[in-house]
Structure 1
Amino acid sequence: MSNDPLLQPFQLKHLTLKNRIIVTSHEPAYPEDGMPKEQYRAYTVERAKGGVALTMTAGSAAVSKDSPPVFNNLLAYKDEIVPWIREMTDAVHEAGSAIMIQLTHLGRRTRWDKGDWLPVVAPSHHREAAHRAFPKKIEDWDIERIIKDFADAAERMKAGGMDGVELEAYGHLIDQFVSPLTNELDGPYGGDLDNRMRFCLDVFTAIRKRVGDDFILGVRYTADENLAGGTDKAEGLEISRRLKASGLIDYLNVVRGHIDTDPGLTDLIPIQGMANAPHLDFAGEIRAATQFPTFHAAKIPDVATARHAIASGKVDMVGMTRAHMTDPHIVRKIIEKREEDIRPCVGANYCLDRIYQGGAAYCIHNAATGREETMPHVLDRAPARKKVVIVGAGPAGLEAARVAGERGHDVVVFEAANQPGGQIRLTARSPRRREMMSIIDWRMAQCEKYGVTFRFNTWADATAIEAENPDVVVVATGGFPSTEILSSGNDLVVSSWDIISGDVKPGTNVLVFDDAGDHAGLQAADILAAAGAKVEIMTPDRSFAPEVMAMNLVPYMRSLQKQDVTFTVTYRLEGIERQGNGLLAHIGSDYGGVSKERIVDQVVINHGTIPLDELYFDLKPNSSNLGEVDYDALIGGESQEVARNPAGRFQLFRIGDAVAARNTHAAIYDALRLMKTV
């Protein structure tokens, strides 16, 4: 038996959990037709294979038709879900883990124009800012119907082999009843705390009658909304005591905060640059006050913090959910005493932000997550050792080197700079995004482990590459800022990279023209404003920084608004000319009929990158595939066998921004799916 606190078993009623680490409920948006089919099952089972004690799946599985998902959630109100749930639970149990599912009615946290176009319901007419729908005030027959829907859905989950269900309360319909901010009903379901809690307890009563005692029931709820007029800490403690005293549930899963706005959501589920485990002590207070099994998850990204959470007695089970999206094999590596091999979560929140923008969840630097059917988390050895030469030590080049090295190839990496990182190193210059460097540091450590050779401060030309006698050459040289976009005055601008790197001193009155809409534009603006500049961010789009997405936008806005930055949308910078000691900016609009001017002393352009591809084209004539990629083989996970040039001496590929401006995840995905079959 290990004496590691994280590896101790925990008895939850009749269910023995083999260690203290859980994956809390979350919806990765992988369902097909509202069902957890092959992709969903493969993703869930991978975490079980990695050794987690309990994986909770399906954040916010819908129990009613008037709770339509606002992104791709499971539809727990359909009978057809049962066999799909059974396939998943059987596979998870076979892998040695317990599995639960989260059920909810979203209440006002959805839209009427989704699903079957039914009215949104809530205990008041108050609209939730995040989803904008004005709800119908719930009626008695709605309450009766929804309570039955919860019980029906729980029964389906038990029939599907789940070990239990968790009700999602915070921000959803149950919490909308409990919170005085959102409940304007008269009794019996409105008014004092007894009445406001009645809906929650009636739901649990109906579920318990349906599923019996040999089934785990829990609730994920806020014990402090941290919002004026809402449930405060004192009332939250009383709610916690009453939940325990009800005798209906088996554990509490505690959060702190509210999710009706993007800033509220980001404080409840913190991202990079925010404190780790900010609500852990509060969860510990709930456990101490109730002496009841307590779970908690909120930015607990590393083993040391998780170990402290258990060893200090703050919680009984610790959630490492985003961490398991980054590395599903955390527990296995702890057991094998290989904690240094755990791929670190960097808090970039690419996973959650993609969901809230209608996409599937992907980890910014583990491209196998969500693609378990085609991409490996554990790499196989290559059938034959090859010489692989990689040019560029940014995220794409380092991932290519890591994968090739782990598979047993002889790998050499050329890098013109004196250290690795590429664009990530620029990103990490901002203190709030310093965690991004872990993407590079982890890969460098893995490359060292697998014997990859690095040649820094080396400008690689075709002659130097071919002198290595490579079997495979991968060009991962990235790109350089694209600023040649104006009708006049292109020589008068600087790039966002110039500002971020510190190569150009900030002006005093600066126009940032950003039509790429990614982090670099806002990062440059933040640096400029912090230096005391008057800053205007301008975009031709109808919203600024659309590539940054909701939760990552919050810290930028908190900083930029405090510094009185101006945000201008739907206008396009067309040209610049000198005027005295300043610059005269000519501004138009894609909508037509507009001509404006601004006088500034600096113009910063953020327009993505142009590939640094000269080396690739120099090497192309001597390659066996002439640079061609078989896309069908790439997508299908098969090796590249294109042979267009019989005299060619090596295969040649390029990846990441050396192909076209994209993002970190795309660069890493390029590298993984190419190199896993070399």
Structure 2
Amino acid sequence: MADPLLQPYRLKNLTLKNRIFSTSHEPAYSEAGRPGLRYQLYHEEKAKGGAAMTMIGGSSVVAKDSPQAFGNLYVHDDAIVGDFKALAKRVHAYDCAVMCQITHLGRRTSWHREHWLPIISASHEREPAHRGFPKTMEDFDIARTVKAYGAAARRCRDGDLDGVEIEAYGHLFDSFLSPRTNSREDNYGGSLENRMRFGMEVLAEMRRQTDPDFIIGVRMAVDEAVEDGFGFDEGVEIAKRLHKAGLVDFLNVIVGTIDTDESLSHIIPLMGTPAGPNFAKVKAARKLLPGLPIFHAARVNDLATARHWVNDDAVDMIGMTRAHMADPHIVAKMMRGQEERIRPCVGAGYCIDRIYQGGEALCLHNPATGREETMPHVIAPSTGPKKKIVIVGAGPAGLEAARVSALRGHRVAVFEATDRVGGQVALAAKVARRKELIGITDWLYAEAQLAGAIFRFNTYAEAADIEAEQPDIVIVATGGTPNTAPFKDGSDLAISTWDVLSGQVALSDDIILYDDEAGHEALSTAEFLAGKGIKFELITPERLIGAEVGGLNYPAYYKALYATGAKLTINQRMTRIAKEGNQLVATLFNPYDKSTSERRAQQIIAVHGNLPADAVYFDLKERSLNRGEIDIDAFIDGRPQNLKTNANGTFQLFRIGDAVSARNIHAAIYDGLRLCQVF
């Protein structure tokens, strides 16, 4: 039986070679609002990997009073046409279509950027996420914006793109459609016909400024799934009217709203949620919209789920967007019969949270994504001499070093002190909702083994054991150990999250969880405690809980915290722990009013990062050619490491990941890739 995912699909005048595409999103790789080389290479890689279509420019802005929110492309300037042409040429070379999403952000942005113009919307309703108060659009605002949409579509056509889609959920276009954001009393408010008027004018202008064959679609909710928004019946009716008017060529279906972090977490579901959660509603909409091509994407991160959507006639095209960030070669591997070798998207949400925290989207465990100019997705064999490489530690850093080194053709031996791979990832995956994280190290281990790396478990490697291997290169990837000693006194009385998640300590029902890191470690431990019904107080010196946890991730944590009735305390730094009888007494200091207070509990869990487990590294340092030094410029540029500062050394020595300093999974894997891809 032919694979439904590999069947071509005819969309108007465009033949898509299979049913898999990457939906519009903004990785924030733009340069001054334009898609430069980094942006182009990112999309070209998905075309190389076999996708039928890649959609670029999530929320590309059509007007100057729609300032960037996260690196959006500017389609309000003719200067972008040349960049589009360059990108389209790259993508089309692999028989891959490319479209751009255009929009006016409306109230979903901030007025205090770029030109400092008022944000605008159908009405005055404020969006909770961006907090600005929009100007209610006047007649001249409407006329100007309608023309801006049309001009933006024309620029996309002139840039050799195959089509465009309008983002119509949470932005200006749908602010007119939804009764929750449209309280107008003129011809653009009230009845459904009036609420659709702006959208009809926009689409008609886009068609007027392009041509009849140019593909125009809308990505919109068929059900806002909120009490004061439009429901499924009205959402389908809106789509019917747009289709009947001949204004749209496809509908990219969304369910829900995006005006709060909590609601956005349902539009972009993370780990611990069902695959393809909107299947029933999207399929029902499709049945009611005959003849209108239906696209969809929401937590379709594996081929089995994608295949089910297409085979069961729920969609015409299925989006695998985050999955393509994890592995842009999904289709190519499927066609080679290598589905098991696809790097899995684990739904961590790091890609999206990074946009708001670090300014660019990055995959948690594929550091080549977004770095295509310097980092390879496909590791090429080395043309130089084959080397013996010994790696100590089988966490994410060591596993990536083993995978890449073995693929380069070197002889690789990995020493691991425990009986399994994973390191800290294996501990993080102990939290039920986050168990998919183990897919990161499972994939790295399988790929490293397939490439020929040899693993030696239950082996606590010391310097003599490593030197006995007669290595050319030694990579210390031993990770770190919990630092539970940030206090003036009593640090030995605290336990670590490792103790808790590994089950090494029996837990009481009287716990303080002290978070002096502000990341996932404390909150995932809190979720673990909540899952066991344990009540606790979470204390942090930060001004908010989980300051380093992104907006997509924190809703799940907060739900767990509230479900168990945890007490949340901010602005309190723990300075001492003392033992009184069978209780522990924590001294807290408030840096704002300089007051001190005490808390009592049976157990105190302290989170203060990790200290490098670096003993074997320092044992080897003076025996190595480079004394463990990394040429930082070569490391950054992706050039070989040639430092030789010890004439008596016999091997190169490096350490990576948390064995250097406490960071995260992405940093650890990136260390392994950029160090070893030049050996």
| 1:506 and 1:531 in contact (8 A); partners too | no
Amino acid at match of 1:151: G
Aligned to 2:110: 111
| 2:534 and 2:564 in contact (8 A); partners too | no
Partner SS state of residue 553, structure 2? helix
| 1:507 and 1:528 in contact (8 A); partners too | no
Count residues in correspondence: 677
Aligned to 1:154: 153
Indicate how the Cα distance of structure 1 residues 358 and 399 shifts in structure 2: closer, same or farther if over 3 A, else same. closer
**Alignment partner of 1:286 is 2:288:** no
Q: Which sits farther off after the overlay, 576-585 or 90-99?
A: 576-585
In structure 1, C-alpha distance between the alignment counterparts of 2:531 and 2:296, rounded to whole Å: 36
Aligned to 1:79: 78
Deviation at 1:530, TM superposition (A): 3.3
Aligned to 1:5: 4
In structure 2, C-alpha distance between the alignment counterparts of 1:667 and 1:637, rounded to whole Å: 16
Amino acid at match of 1:554: P
Aligned to 2:26: 27
Aligned to 1:187: 186
In structure 2, C-alpha distance between the alignment counterparts of 1:272 and 1:243, rounded to whole Å: 35
Deviation at 1:592, TM superposition (A): 4.7
Aligned to 2:657: 656
Amino acid at match of 2:128: A
Partner SS state of residue 111, structure 1? coil
**Alignment partner of 1:444 is 2:445:** yes
Aligned to 1:342: 342
Amino acid at match of 2:414: V
| 1:521 and 1:606 in contact (8 A); partners too | yes
Q: Which sits farther off after the overlay, 599-608 or 98-107?
A: 599-608
In structure 2, C-alpha distance between the alignment counterparts of 1:468 and 1:180, rounded to whole Å: 71
Aligned to 2:509: 508
Partner SS state of residue 223, structure 1? strand
Q: Which sits farther off after the overlay, 500-509 or 36-45?
A: 500-509
| 1:509 and 1:535 in contact (8 A); partners too | yes
Partner SS state of residue 587, structure 1? strand
In structure 2, C-alpha distance between the alignment counterparts of 1:348 and 1:526, rounded to whole Å: 15
Aligned to 2:640: 639
Aligned to 1:587: 588
In structure 2, C-alpha distance between the alignment counterparts of 1:159 and 1:320, rounded to whole Å: 27
Deviation at 1:647, TM superposition (A): 2.1
In structure 1, C-alpha distance between the alignment counterparts of 2:427 and 2:195, rounded to whole Å: 50
Aligned to 1:557: 558
Aligned to 1:352: 352
Aligned to 1:397: 398
Deviation at 1:601, TM superposition (A): 1.8
Partner SS state of residue 418, structure 2? coil
In structure 1, C-alpha distance between the alignment counterparts of 2:266 and 2:95, rounded to whole Å: 34
Aligned to 2:177: 178
Deviation at 1:574, TM superposition (A): 1.0
Deviation at 1:411, TM superposition (A): 0.7
| 1:112 and 1:120 in contact (8 A); partners too | yes
Indicate how the Cα distance of structure 1 residues 528 and 431 shifts in structure 2: closer, same or farther if over 3 A, else same. closer
Aligned to 1:388: 389
Deviation at 1:404, TM superposition (A): 0.8
| 1:477 and 1:658 in contact (8 A); partners too | yes
String of CA shifts for 1:111-167, please: whole Å, max 9, x gaps. 111221111111222111111111111111111111111111111111111111100
Amino acid at match of 1:523: S
Deviation at 1:379, TM superposition (A): 0.9
Aligned to 2:322: 322
Deviation at 1:472, TM superposition (A): 0.8
| 2:431 and 2:527 in contact (8 A); partners too | no
In structure 1, C-alpha distance between the alignment counterparts of 2:560 and 2:633, rounded to whole Å: 45
Partner SS state of residue 421, structure 2? coil
Partner SS state of residue 223, structure 2? coil
Aligned to 1:300: 300
Q: Which sits farther off after the overlay, 235-244 or 426-435?
A: 235-244
Indicate how the Cα distance of structure 1 residues 11 and 332 shifts in structure 2: closer, same or farther if over 3 A, else same. same
Partner SS state of residue 69, structure 1? coil
Aligned to 2:42: 43
Aligned to 2:477: 476
Deviation at 1:511, TM superposition (A): 1.5
| 1:165 and 1:218 in contact (8 A); partners too | yes
In structure 1, C-alpha distance between the alignment counterparts of 2:609 and 2:137, rounded to whole Å: 49
CA RMSD of aligned residues (A): 1.1
Deviation at 1:51, TM superposition (A): 1.0
Aligned to 1:529: 530
In structure 2, C-alpha distance between the alignment counterparts of 1:475 and 1:249, rounded to whole Å: 56
Aligned to 1:600: 601
Q: Which sits farther off after the overlay, 103-112 or 563-572?
A: 563-572
Deviation at 1:423, TM superposition (A): 0.3
String of CA shifts for 1:297-350, please: whole Å, max 9, x gaps. 000000111111111111000000000000001111111111111111110111
- TM value normalised by structure 2: 0.98
Amino acid at match of 2:338: R
Amino acid at match of 2:145: I
| 1:166 and 1:220 in contact (8 A); partners too | yes
String of CA shifts for 1:206-264, please: whole Å, max 9, x gaps. 00000011211000000001111111111112112112112111100001011111110
Amino acid at match of 1:400: A
String of CA shifts for 1:590-633, please: whole Å, max 9, x gaps. 33521112122221100010000000011111111111111111
Deviation at 1:358, TM superposition (A): 4.9
Partner SS state of residue 543, structure 1? coil
Aligned to 1:275: 274
Aligned to 2:246: 247
Partner SS state of residue 673, structure 2? helix
Aligned to 1:460: 461
| 2:101 and 2:166 in contact (8 A); partners too | yes
Aligned to 1:373: 373
Deviation at 1:533, TM superposition (A): 3.1
In structure 2, C-alpha distance between the alignment counterparts of 1:589 and 1:625, rounded to whole Å: 46
In structure 1, C-alpha distance between the alignment counterparts of 2:531 and 2:219, rounded to whole Å: 39
Amino acid at match of 2:53: L
Aligned to 1:670: 671
| 2:431 and 2:525 in contact (8 A); partners too | no
Aligned to 1:540: 541
String of CA shifts for 1:64-87, please: whole Å, max 9, x gaps. 111111111111112211111111
Aligned to 1:58: 57
In structure 2, C-alpha distance between the alignment counterparts of 1:243 and 1:594, rounded to whole Å: 63
In structure 2, C-alpha distance between the alignment counterparts of 1:608 and 1:358, rounded to whole Å: 20
| 1:514 and 1:538 in contact (8 A); partners too | yes
In structure 2, C-alpha distance between the alignment counterparts of 1:408 and 1:287, rounded to whole Å: 50
In structure 1, C-alpha distance between the alignment counterparts of 2:532 and 2:332, rounded to whole Å: 47
In structure 2, C-alpha distance between the alignment counterparts of 1:356 and 1:239, rounded to whole Å: 32
Runs of 4+ aligned structure 1 residues displaced above 6 Å come to none
Deviation at 1:548, TM superposition (A): 1.9
Amino acid at match of 2:654: F
- TM value normalised by structure 1: 0.98
| Unmatched segments (≥5 aa) in structure 2 | none
Partner SS state of residue 552, structure 2? helix
| 1:500 and 1:523 in contact (8 A); partners too | no
**Alignment partner of 1:311 is 2:325:** no
In structure 2, C-alpha distance between the alignment counterparts of 1:50 and 1:533, rounded to whole Å: 47
**Alignment partner of 1:623 is 2:645:** no
Indicate how the Cα distance of structure 1 residues 530 and 432 shifts in structure 2: closer, same or farther if over 3 A, else same. closer
Q: Superposition pairs for residues 569-584 of structure 1, below 5 Å?
A: 569-584=570-585
String of CA shifts for 1:652-675, please: whole Å, max 9, x gaps. 110000000000000000000000
Aligned to 2:227: 228
String of CA shifts for 1:506-549, please: whole Å, max 9, x gaps. 22222211011111101222222333433111111112212221
